[in-house]
Amino acid sequence: MALLELRDISKRFGGLQALSLVSMKIEEGMIASLIGPNGAGKTTLFNTLTGIYRPDQGEIRFKDRSLVGLKPESITGAGISRTFQNIRLFSHMSVLDNVLVGMHTRLDTSLVDIFLATKGFYAREKAARTRAEELIELTGLRGRENEWAQQLSYGEQRRLEIARALAAAPQLLLLDEPTAGMNASEAQSLMRLFRDVMGRYVKAILLIEHNMRVVMGVSHRVHVLDYGEKIAEGVPDEVRRDPRVIEAYLGTGDWLKNARS
């Protein structure tokens, strides 16, 4: 049984068919990549998956439960969490608090506990803090806990987003262009982080990525979107040689033929 299964997802914005009949399966233990030219519908697919948009048709099944129509917070509660392409941290909150917000669904302190500051409240807060510090350590942000998120550098902010998403204890982690704007060595260390996280913290990762070195380096499976349609799927080497993929990225090549003749 697949961890996540999308069946014939379509989403339309006015005259634009952003997604049409996209299907895919993500198995446990898999790092999958979603690639495609700009505007192919990758982020729309993420937003549909996480409940920000509701699909016009199609079915999303996660651990054999339908996610269509659920609110984003319920989908996070079910075990999917994500990062954002354009970083969306809580800028005026500390690094630690950013991660702790991610634990909201896993912290079941009631209002009574909070008002009375019961032992249970302190115990849970302390446990949450310990776990948050572990994630901060994992993402290499140790020592920055009390700084505001907006004071971190760009690369650190990207890593904090990952720590925050992991705090929700997801089984499936969605990463939207995690290495965007990073140099080669930063991207390398992030790839190591993905492999560390797999199995230990999450059961599967789906990432949107433009950096082909990262895609080919970490993915077990690659899905390719173009104009809202899935045009190819396979192991990295297959996809790299797929003529439809090459065409989507580089064009039809007619001008080459024309130039030759």
Partner 1 sequence: MNRSLALIGLSLYIAGSCVLAYFFPQSVLAFLLVEGSLLLLYYTPVSGRVKSFFAALVLLVLLPILGFTNAYYFEIAIQIGIFVALALGLNIVVGFVGLLNLGFVAFYAIGAYLWAVFGSPQANQFIAGGWFPLSPNWFFVFLILSIAVGALTGILLGLPVLRLRGDYLAIVTLGFAEVVRALVNNLDKPINLTNGPKGIAPISKPPLFFKPVLEFFGVQVVDAALYPLYFYFLVLLLVFVIILVTRRLENSRVGRAWKAIREDEIAASAMGVPVVRMKLLGFAVGASFASAVGVLFAAKQVFINPESFTFMESIGVLAMVILGGMGSVPGAILGATGVTILNLQLLKGLSLWLNGLRQSGAVLSIPLLGDLSLANLPAQFEPAKYERMVFGLILIVMMIFRPQGILPPTQEPKK
Q: Which of 117, 123, 127, 256 binds partner 1 (CB under 8 A)?
A: 117
Instruction: Give me the least distance between CB of 206 and partner 1, in Å please.
Output: 15
The amino acid at residue 152 is L
Q: Any contact of residue 139 with partner 1 (CB under 8 A)?
A: no
The amino acid at residue 51 is G
Q: Any contact of residue 81 with partner 1 (CB under 8 A)?
A: yes
Q: Any contact of residue 50 with partner 1 (CB under 8 A)?
A: yes
| Region 228-247 residues binding partner 1, contact defined as CB under 8 A | none
Q: Which of 5, 27, 125, 233 binds partner 1 (CB under 8 A)?
A: 125
Q: Any contact of residue 72 with partner 1 (CB under 8 A)?
A: yes
Instruction: Give me the least distance between CB of 85 and partner 1, in Å please.
Output: 12
| Pairwise CA distance, residues 196 & 166, whole Å | 12
Instruction: Give me the least distance between CB of 92 and partner 1, in Å please.
Output: 6
Compare residues 60 and 165 and give the one whose CB is closer to partner 1.
165
Q: Which of 37, 90, 180, 229 binds partner 1 (CB under 8 A)?
A: 90
Q: Any contact of residue 210 with partner 1 (CB under 8 A)?
A: no
Instruction: Give me the least distance between CB of 113 and partner 1, in Å please.
Output: 8
Q: Any contact of residue 82 with partner 1 (CB under 8 A)?
A: yes
Sign of torsion over alpha carbons 107, 30, 140, 157? negative
Residue count, binding to partner 1 (CB under 8 A)? 42
Sign of torsion over alpha carbons 8, 195, 171, 207? negative
Q: Which of 66, 91, 189, 252 binds partner 1 (CB under 8 A)?
A: 91
Q: Which of 92, 119, 200, 257 binds partner 1 (CB under 8 A)?
A: 92
Which residues, other chains included, contact 214 with Cβ-Cβ below 8 Å and sequence gap of 6+?
179, 187, 190, 191
Compare residues 8 and 73 and give the one whose CB is closer to partner 1.
73
- Edge to edge, what strands does the sheet with 65-66 contain? 16-26, 4-13, 57-62, 65-66
Q: Which of 56, 59, 145, 233 binds partner 1 (CB under 8 A)?
A: 145
Q: Any contact of residue 100 with partner 1 (CB under 8 A)?
A: yes
Q: Which of 43, 76, 139, 211 binds partner 1 (CB under 8 A)?
A: 76
Exposure string (b/e) for 230-253, b if CB count within 10 Å is 16 or more?
bbbbeebeebeebeebeebeeeee
Binding site for partner 1 (CB under 8 A): 50, 52, 71-73, 76-77, 81-82, 84, 88-94, 96-97, 100-105, 107, 109, 111, 114-115, 117, 121, 125, 128, 145-148, 164-165, 167-168
